[in-house]
Amino acid sequence: MQRPQRNNHEIDYEKATAAIGYSFKNKKLLLTALTHSSFANEMHDGTKYNERLEFLGDSVLGIVVSDYIYLNCPEFPEGKLTKLRASLVCEKSLYGYAKQIKLGELIRLSKGEKHSGGDDRPSILSDAFEAVIAAIYLDGGIEPAREFILRFVIPDIKSAKPVKFKDYKTVLQEIIQKNPEERISYVLVKETGPDHDKHFVVEVHLNSNVIGKGGGRSKKEAEQEAARVALELMGY
């Protein structure tokens, strides 16, 4: 019997497994991790996409990187550990990691998103990278997820040249936490544009007061810009 051809809406599991370096028991997790919301919206059939996995992957990434640099950089004080971690898990670094395994070639995007270069957009690739982390974690546990993450992070640490990145959110948090009663929060106040060209506006609140506002092509970028504005207004 002739083998059915792969549907364009599927992914090349063999290619994905080779790129990621992990073989999934539950292939649906990988499929979801590599599905962008624009593709799901275009299907109109309840297709799952990777935003929830991205949320989990961000946390797994944070704990794995924190654990590694805490144990392997004993000479670093807390402030330097915080800055190092921020440089390793920021969007720019994750985009670079995703590019190393050509993740953009694997992601399912809408026709419009694909046409507009979504397969090379930093926000999309970095989010998909976090989603892949979560998929590995859910499928095989923390150890394969750790192995996957450290494959990219350790070379950056050993080179002593982590991506130069001003983590305005961390700097602002360090300033504010000197007063324990103060609380920082980030509020999404506006989201405009089609799936392939979104723009987000975020306010940073100190308790109930707005102290900064910023925009960007991803929520993370908008939060960083809001924090930068807040620091500037505070004289930093």
d(CA 14, CA 18): 6
Catalytic residue among 42, 91, 127, 130: 130
Tokens describing residue 36: 């962008």
Catalytic residue among 58, 91, 127, 167: 58
Whether 130 is catalytic is yes
DSSP annotation string for 85-104 = HHHHHSHHHHHHHHHHTTGG
Tokens describing residue 92: 């720019």
d(CA 214, CA 232): 12
Which runs of consecutive H residues, i.e. helices, occur in the chain?
A: 13-20, 27-33, 37-43, 51-72, 78-89, 91-100, 111-115, 122-140, 142-158, 168-176, 219-233
Where in the sequence numbering do the catalytic residues fall?
Answer: 58, 130
